[in-house]
Structure 1
Amino acid sequence: MTRVLVTGGTGFIGSWCVLALLDAGHTVRTTVRDPRREPALRSWLQAAAPFDDDRLTVVPADLGQPHGWDEAVADCDFVLHVASPTLRQTPTSDDELMIPAREGVLRVLRAARDAGVRRVVLTSAFGAIGIGHPPRSTPFTEEDWTDVDSDIPPYQRSKTLAERAAWRFIEDDGGGLELATVHPVGVLGPLLGPDDPPSLRLVRRMLEGRVPACPPFGMGYVDVRDVADLHLRAMTSPKAAGERFLAVAGHSMRVVDIARTLHERLGERAAKAPTRELPVWFARALGLVNPEVRLLRHQLGRDLDATSAKAERLLGWRARPIQDTIEDTAESLLAHGIGN
C-alpha cells in the first residue's frame, strides 16, 4: 500500500484518520507537537484496532515552526493535513488565528510539493462555507464560501482564508501537486483516548447538567468515523482532485433535538440534559454578557443546513444516522468518566 502523512495525529479527527489508514493497510507517519504523547497515541490506536506497530511512525513537527516538515513528508505518497493551530486562550486579535492557520497550510503544501507528494487532503470546515450569509432556505453546498468581510468569529475567518491560500498556492506554485478539501460540520462520535475535543463539549455539558436550556439554532452534524472515511476517499479517488467536499449526516438538527436524542437513547443516564429551547430574544440578550453565546450570534434563530450530495455522488460516501452517533458519543464520554 502507500505511505501517508497525517498531521495532528493526536487530535480527534487526526487520530481517527490514522486508525482508518492503518485499518486499510497503509503505512502511516503522523506528526505531533509533543513527542511525549506518542506512547499514549499508540496505546489508544492499538486498543481500538490492533495493527502492526511497524506501520506507524510518529514524528515531531509544529505548524508554527519551519523545521521538521521536510522530514515529515519525505517518501510519502499522500498527505492528510488535519492539524490546525491552537491557542491556549481567547485570541486578542484575528491575526492570532489567521496568520498561523494560513502559514501552517502553506508550510505543509510547500513541503509536500517539494517531496513529490501526489495529493494533499486538507481538513477545512463548514466554517469556510456557510458563515456570514443572509438567511436562506436552501442548503449550503461546496460552491459557497464564507463571507470574510462580514462580522464573523476569528475561527471561521481563519479557516476560510487558510483554504483560499491553499487553492491559490496549488494554482500558482503547486507544480502538479493535487489538492482536495473536506468540510465537516459539527463533529461528534466516540473518543479514542481520554482527551476532551471541543466539538464534544456540548454533549458533555448536557450530560453534566451544565446546559440549563438549549440555544435556539440548528446546524449539521457528522460522525468522526465518517469524516475519516471521507478523507480516505478524497485521497484515493481520481474524481476528488481539485474538489471540495462537505461532510454532513442528513440535514441540520436543532440543539434541543440532540438533548432529546440523549433522553431517548440513554434514559436516566441523560437525566441532566436540558428539555427546552431558549427564546431567540433571550439568547440574544444573554449574548451581551456571555462570550460563548456571543460567538453564536449569527446562528441564533437559524438552521444552517448543508448537503453532502456531492461526496455521495462522486465518492460513494455515506454517513451513518446522526442519532446513532449522538448515542455513541454519549456512551464514549460516560465510559471515559466524562459527563457522570
Structure 2
Amino acid sequence: MSTSNTKLVLLTGGTGFIGFQTLLDALRAGFRVRCTVRSEAKGEALLSKPALQPFLQADNQAPSVEIVVVPDQAARKAFHEAIKGTSYVIHIASPLPSAVTQANGHLDAEANFLAPARRTAVEMLEAAATTTSVERVVMTSSVAAFVSPKIFMGLMRQDSQHPFTPTSRMPLMTPPFPHSGVAYVASKVESLAATEAWVKETKPRFSVINIHPSWVMGRAECAEDVGSLFNTTNRLVLNTIVKGQKSQYPVMMGAVVDVHDVARMQVQSLQKADIVQPGNCRSFIASTPGIYEDIPGIIRKSFAEQCQDGRVTILGQQASFPLPIDSSSTEITFGWKFKTLEEMINDLISQYIELQ
C-alpha cells in the first residue's frame, strides 16, 4: 500500500456516470482513491479514460488511483481486503434496471435487486467495522427510497404542502413487482433500511451518510463519444428530446440534479466532520425542481444556430409531474445551491455537439 500522507478513499461504481465524476472530484480534492471494479478489463478501461490521465502521470509519487478487483460485491467479506488502510468509503455501485436480464419475461426481484442491494450495503459496513482507519462511509441511495412507486407510475400525487424530506421513509416492499423500475425502487428502500438498522444496532466508531439524488443528468466526463453519452441517465433527454423516441417512462418526476452536484456532495461529505457524529447515520437529498416540458425551450434558446443547421433537433417530448422535494437542508449544510435545469441542459447539449 502507498505511504503517502494523503487519505485514501475506497470507491465503488467508479466506472459509472456518478462514480467517475466522484472519482475526479475526490482526486481534485487531494484524496487518493482505490476503485473497486468487477474485472481486470474494467479496471484497464477506467485507467485509460482521458480525463483521468493528469492524475496518473506524477513521477516518483505514490499512485493517486488504485484498482482492486471485487467480482461479486454482494459476496461474503467482499470488501474486507479492499478496505484495508482506507480512511473513507464512497459506495455508489448498485443494480440498475437496464443491467438486469429477465429470463422468459420473468423478473426475479429478490435475486436481481433486493438481495444484492441489501447484502452489498451490509458487507461494506461490516468491512469498515473490521478496520481501525475508516472514519466515514458515504452511501449513494436515491430519492426513490422516499417515494411510493405509485407516484412514479402516475397513480397518485404527493401533496405539495407535505414535500419529501431527508427523514421521509417508505415501508419495505414485497415482490412480485410489475417491472424492473419498481424493483429498483424497492432495492433502494431495502438498502437504506438495512443501512440504518445496522448502524442503530452496531453503533460503529465511524459515521454513515446517505446521499439521495433524484434523476441525474449533465455533462458526463466519463463519455468519450456520443454512444457512451447515451449510456448514462442523460439518455432520457437525448432519446426523447433529440432523437424523438418514445420514452419508456410515460410520466417522469419533475425533480433533477446535476451529476457534478452529486459528486461534490459525496466528496464534501468526507470533508465535513461535524455534520454527523460517529455511530450515527444521516441522509441528504440531492435534487432541484425541473420539468421536462421546459427542455425544448431551453434548447431552442441556447442552441438556436445548431437547431437551424440540424446539429440539434427537437423531435420528441417527455411529460412530467411535480414532485415536491425539500432539499433546503442540503443547501444549508453544504453552503451552495444546486445547478438549475437550464444549466444542466446547456452543459449536456454542449457536450453532445462537441462529441458529434
TM-score (norm 1): 0.83
Per the alignment, residue 200 of structure 1 pairs with 234
Q: Are 1:83 and 2:73 matched, yes or no?
A: no
Distance 1:225 1:178 in 2: 24
Distance 1:211 1:10 in 2: 28
Deviation at 1:232, TM superposition (A): 1.4
Deviation at 1:147, TM superposition (A): 4.3
Q: Are 1:129 and 2:168 matched, yes or no?
A: no
Amino acid paired to 1:325: M
Q: Are 1:58 and 2:58 matched, yes or no?
A: no
Deviation at 1:14, TM superposition (A): 0.8
Q: Are 1:322 and 2:341 matched, yes or no?
A: yes
Contact persistence 1:119–1:178 (CA under 8 A): yes
Equivalent pairs counted in the alignment come to 311
Per the alignment, residue 326 of structure 2 pairs with 307
Contact persistence 2:236–2:247 (CA under 8 A): no
Distance 1:48 1:263 in 2: 33
Gaps of 5+ in 1: 279-299
Distance 1:213 1:18 in 2: 30
Distance 2:323 2:76 in 1: 37
Amino acid paired to 2:292: V
Distance 1:77 1:213 in 2: 41
Contact persistence 2:90–2:138 (CA under 8 A): yes
Per the alignment, residue 281 of structure 1 pairs with none
Q: What fraction of aligned residue pairs are identical, expressed as a percent?
A: 26
Provide Cα deviations, 1:259-306, integer angstroms capped at 9, x if missing partner.
3322322331332333x666xxxxxxxxxxxxxxxxxxxxx7x31121
Per the alignment, residue 26 of structure 1 pairs with 31
Per the alignment, residue 219 of structure 1 pairs with 254
Distance 2:28 2:246 in 1: 37
Q: Are 1:272 and 2:322 matched, yes or no?
A: no
Deviation at 1:149, TM superposition (A): 4.7
Contact persistence 1:8–1:31 (CA under 8 A): yes
Cα gap change, 1:114/1:330 in structure 2, threshold over 3 Å: closer, same or farther?
A: same
Deviation at 1:327, TM superposition (A): 1.7
Per the alignment, residue 140 of structure 1 pairs with 164
Which of 286, 292, 308 is matched with 1:255 structurally? 292
Cα gap change, 1:6/1:149 in structure 2, threshold over 3 Å: closer, same or farther?
A: closer
Contact persistence 1:262–1:273 (CA under 8 A): no
Q: Are 1:162 and 2:191 matched, yes or no?
A: yes
Cα gap change, 1:212/1:243 in structure 2, threshold over 3 Å: closer, same or farther?
A: closer
Q: Are 1:72 and 2:82 matched, yes or no?
A: yes
Deviation at 1:126, TM superposition (A): 0.7
Distance 2:121 2:204 in 1: 16
Per the alignment, residue 269 of structure 2 pairs with 234
Provide Cα deviations, 1:182-227, integer angstroms capped at 9, x if missing partner.
0001100112234344411112202122148994554211111110
Q: Are 1:180 and 2:209 matched, yes or no?
A: yes
Cα gap change, 1:213/1:109 in structure 2, threshold over 3 Å: closer, same or farther?
A: closer
Contact persistence 1:19–1:49 (CA under 8 A): no
